[in-house]
Amino acid sequence: MILLVTPSEKALEWSAALTEATGQEVLVAETLVRATTLLRVEGYLAVVLDQYLLETKPREALTLFEHLGSAIPVQVNLGISGMERLAREVRAAVQRRQREEAGARQVATRKLHGELNGTVTALLLSSELALEDRSLPPAMAEKLQLVYELVKRLRQQLERAIPTEETRQRAAGA
């Protein structure tokens, strides 16, 4: 959802243009105080701010910026910007944010994969070593073999979910 902050009479037209350009629902706030209240209640993808309000109400603007959260602030001089330019700037900001989020998700996923892979490797090695113990009672060996097979399956699932460089190279060579 996008929050458009402007006292302009054209707010509804701009709101419709932004909805069409981004596919996001757009809410309009006529004042910075109202926008700050809305930001406290709900999260927004972007907050489009009329430059006029920022220049005439600096204290209220500062309070609003403190409540942005993860919303992208897009400052635009709506007095001179056309709807096409406004839509282009907001669409670009939203796409930039989506790329940043995707990159951050990839980094987090890879980190988690690395941590899980280390644990899986340790479990596999420990299971293999324990299975080599010939003094292990048969019932225990059977249960341990089951654990070993489950951990191997987990490793395969991890490799399918996030291929490592080694598995990518094997797949490319095959």
What local confidence, expressed as pLDDT, does residue 101 receive?
Answer: 87
What local confidence, expressed as pLDDT, does residue 171 receive?
Answer: 63
C-alpha distances (whole Å) from 161 to each of 21, 28, 92, 106, 119 are 33, 41, 30, 12, 16
Residue-wise pLDDT for 132-167, tens only, equals: 998 999 999 999 999 999 999 999 888 887 765 555
CA 106: distance to chain centroid?
9
Which pTM value belongs to this model? 0.65
What local confidence, expressed as pLDDT, does residue 159 receive?
Answer: 84
Domain boundaries, the chain: 2-103, 105-173
What local confidence, expressed as pLDDT, does residue 163 receive?
Answer: 63
Q: Are 48 and 86 in contact (CB under 8 A)?
A: yes
pLDDT at 44 over 80: yes
Superfamily of domain 2-103: Response regulator (3.40.50.2300)
